[in-house]
Amino acid sequence: MSHANAALTPKARLKLALLVVDHGWSVSAAARRFEVSYRTAKRWSERYAAMGEPGMQDRSSRPQHCPNRTPRPVVRSIVQLRWRHRLGPVEIGARLAVPASTVHAVLTRCRLNRLSHLDRHTGEPIRRYEHAQPGALIHVDVKKLANIPDGGGWRYVGRQQGDKNRIITNRRTGAAKNKYRQPLMGTAYVHTVIDDHSRVAYAEIHNDETAATATAVLHRAVSWLAARGVTVERVLSDNGSAYRSHLWRDTCRDLGITAKKTRPYRPQTNGKIERFHRTMATWAFDQHYPSEQHRRKALPAWLHHYNHHRPHTAIGRQTPISRLTNLPGQHN
For every residue of 191-217, DSSP letters joined together read EEEEETTT--EEEEEES---HHHHHHH
pLDDT at residue 129, as a whole number: 74
As beta bridge partners, residue 142 has: 191
In angstroms, the CA 37 to CA 45 distance is 13
pLDDT at residue 259, as a whole number: 93
In angstroms, the CA 30 to CA 218 distance is 79
DSSP state of 127: -
Tell me if 272 sits within 8 A of 280, measured CB to CB.
no
pLDDT at residue 265, as a whole number: 77
Length of the chain: 332
In angstroms, the CA 42 to CA 198 distance is 60
Tell me if 238 sits within 8 A of 141, measured CB to CB.
yes
Q: Where are the beta strands (DSSP E) in 48-171?
A: 138-146
pLDDT at residue 5, as a whole number: 67
Residues of the chain with pLDDT under 50: none
pLDDT digits (tens, 9 = 90+) for 190-199: 999 999 999 9
Tell me if 34 sits within 8 A of 40, measured CB to CB.
no
Tell me if 132 sits within 8 A of 119, measured CB to CB.
no
pLDDT at residue 130, as a whole number: 81
pLDDT digits (tens, 9 = 90+) for 230-280: 999 999 999 999 999 999 999 999 999 999 999 887 777 788 999 899 999
pLDDT at residue 173, as a whole number: 77
Tell me if 200 sits within 8 A of 319, measured CB to CB.
no
DSSP state of 323: G
pLDDT at residue 123, as a whole number: 54
As beta bridge partners, residue 204 has: 191
pLDDT at residue 276, as a whole number: 93
